[in-house]
Amino acid sequence: MTGLEPKRSWGDVYQAFKNPKVVALLFLGLSAGIPILLIFSTLSVWLREAGVSRATIGFFSWAALGYAFKFIWAPLIDKLPVPWLAQVMGRRRSWLLLSQLMIIGSLFLMATSDPAQSLTTMALFAVLLGFSSATQDIVIDAYRIEVADVDLQGIMSSAYIAGYRIGMLVAGAGALELAGFFDGGNGYSLAAWSKTYVSMAAVMGVGVLTTLAIAEPVTERRHDANLQKTSDYVRFVGSFLGAVGTLVGVFLLSAELATTAKSYLDDSLGINGELAGFLVEAVRLSFAIAGAALTGSLLIFTKFAPKTLIMDSYLGPFTDFFSRHGKTALLILALISTYRIADVIMGVMANVFYVDLGFDKQEIGRISKGFGLVMTLIGGFAGGALAVRYGVMKSLMTGAILAAASNLLFALLAQVGDSISFLMLVISADNLSAGIASAAFVAYLSSLTSSAFTATQYALFSSIMVLLPKILAGYSGVMVESVGYEWFFVGTAAMGVPVLFLIYLVARAKPPG
């Protein structure tokens, strides 16, 4: 696997950036970048101001696990049209509009919540936002791959990443600036954060307008006889909802048992409270996932679920991928699952780290998000252009090296303290590396995707990309409590070293046949 080979001159690359399809991806990227920080680092500042512990904030990042499991419902988006709306707007645009409206609704619900009074309610609304945002990502990724040829994907991905980072700036620096403005510098204010999240819901209108303006991609889709019957449509969706309902039910019903187990581990076995919570929540999540899998299996066994359709939807993308890549497929999957491990785990604690160093939220927004935007855009466009001009593997290697190195700079910042100038240096390096790595990696994943399973297969790849990092990121607060910030950042940098070896192996591997 050598990735995308160079096919264009620098002049061609510049002209391609002005393609209307590329411009559309810039705005769709902005729409995709807004929700993630509102359930990630921006939300962590809100929770911290509300008096929530660092360990709990770390566990709260699991609200974004919808991004890691989006391959589970991606087949619904690949196979099923949105009733009535698909006839008016087309399959991709109708799903895109629906997901954006769900995001807006979720933000309004979060704006009505107070984490100081009910963390559970906030968590449920954050999970809904994560699910809606992950659904939007599925559709945007499918649209991007279907609307442009493979040789344009590097540039499309760089425009998407640029828009995504601008969206993150709005939801990061913009949201923190708004929260600081609304609270008047008087400390924690629920009303300030509520107004901020309502404002972010309004900004999502950019994505809605873009969806209404773009054209539906023209693709040759496989005719699926299983969807000719309305009963198959209903049973397919019903089976999915049944499995999800089981997962949510098991997780919620086990809350009291989890509390008892934590107390037992702490009181009887002498395991400290943070570690006890880590172990119990991991087991609790595992049982919830197992319950969902068991429900799905029972529905297939009782013939309620359309077995042929489900097997084709979920096993088809795996079969296709392994048939095209042979033994190298395992190396590719290992690379995908670990490529972002260093920056994802570090990212959960970044804003909390800044707060603990003594920076206020407006300084965090202006420097960590505002100042870093320029470096992110430079990195994003550089990553996309380099992937097209010189090949994606070289860009991947460069991004991986820079990502690990930038985490070491965070460890130095922990020693230096609340130095504005050193923070600017660290943020510059971190955003530059993130831009290069992200653009190159999106182009790489796009090159792996088959046109027969566009949404499902890309969702599978991107889910694998964040699954392990996000699960480990849930324990980032526990890690910091145990070893401190300096060793935490050194450890996340060390996690990036095996990635370099995997890139080398994948680049040297020969395609099957």
pLDDT above 50: residue 225 = no
- Cβ(304)–Cβ(222) under 8 Å? no
Q: What is the pTM of this model?
A: 0.71
Q: Which of 70-79, 305-314, 319-328, 503-512 has the highest mean pLDDT?
A: 319-328
Q: What average pLDDT score do residues 202-229 get? A: 75
- Cβ(92)–Cβ(143) under 8 Å? yes
**DSSP symbol at 221:** P
Res 93: pLDDT: 92
* Residue 9: band (very low, low, confident or very high) from pLDDT cuts 50, 70, 90: low
* Least confidently predicted of 42-56, 125-139, 303-317: 303-317
Q: What is the pLDDT of residues 237-289, one digit of tens each?
A: 777 788 878 887 887 788 788 778 777 776 666 666 656 666 777 788 788 88
Nearest alpha carbon to residue 67 among 141, 122, 119: 141
Q: How many residues does the chain have?
A: 513
Res 354: pLDDT: 84
- Cβ(140)–Cβ(161) under 8 Å? no
E strand or H helix at 393? helix 392-416
pLDDT above 70: residue 222 = no
* Least confidently predicted of 128-132, 158-162, 315-319, 390-394: 390-394
10-217+229-508 maps to which CATH number? 1.20.1250.20
- Cite the DSSP H helix spans in 328-391: 328-338, 341-357, 361-364, 372-390
Nearest alpha carbon to residue 401 among 436, 446, 448, 373: 436
Res 267: pLDDT: 67
Kindly list the distances between the CA atom of residue 457 and the CA atoms of 89, 98, 210, in Å, as whole numbers in the listed order: 23, 21, 25
* Least confidently predicted of 2-11, 25-34, 296-305, 463-472: 2-11
Q: To the nearest whole percent, how much of the chain has pLDDT over 90?
A: 17
Q: What is the pLDDT of residues 441-489, one digit of tens each?
A: 888 888 888 777 777 888 888 778 877 887 788 778 888 888 888 899 9
Which residues 6+ apart lie within 8 Å of 38 measured at CB? Answer: 107, 110, 129, 171, 175, 197, 200
| C-alpha 285, offset from chain centre | 19
DSSP string, 10-66: HHHHHHHTT-HHHHHHHHHHHHHHHHHHHTTHHHHHHHHHTT--HHHHHHHGGGGGG
Nearest alpha carbon to residue 217 among 153, 139, 145, 147: 147
Give phi and psi for 317, each to the nearest 5. -60, -35
* Residue 3: band (very low, low, confident or very high) from pLDDT cuts 50, 70, 90: very low
pLDDT above 50: residue 223 = no
Q: 409: helix, coil or strand?
A: helix
**DSSP symbol at 103:** H
Q: What is the pLDDT of residues 367-418, one digit of tens each?
A: 766 677 777 778 877 777 777 677 778 888 888 888 888 889 999 998 888 7
Indicate the average pLDDT of the chain: 81
Q: 453: helix, coil or strand?
A: helix
| Cα angle, residue 172 at apex, residues 169 and 178 outer, rounded to 5° | 105
Which residues 6+ apart lie within 8 Å of 330 measured at CB? Answer: none
Res 389: pLDDT: 72
d(CA 231, CA 223): 17
**Which tokens in the block code for residue 13?**
């690359």
**Which tokens in the block code for residue 91?**
């399959």
Q: Map tokens 């489900």 to a residue.
A: 310
pLDDT above 60: residue 1 = no
Kindly list the distances between the CA atom of residue 475 and the CA atoms of 114, 278, 482, in Å, as whole numbers in the listed order: 24, 7, 11
E strand or H helix at 323? helix 316-325
pLDDT above 60: residue 301 = yes
pLDDT above 90: residue 202 = yes
**Which tokens in the block code for residue 197?**
């999240």
Give the side-chain half-sphere CA count within 13 A for 267: 6
Q: What is the pLDDT of residues 135-167, one digit of tens each?
A: 999 999 889 888 876 667 777 878 888 888 789
The structural domains of the chain, with segments of one domain joined by +, span: 10-217+229-508
* Residue 511: band (very low, low, confident or very high) from pLDDT cuts 50, 70, 90: low
Kindly list the distances between the CA atom of residue 330 and the CA atoms of 128, 335, 501, 506, in Å, as whole numbers in the listed order: 32, 9, 14, 10
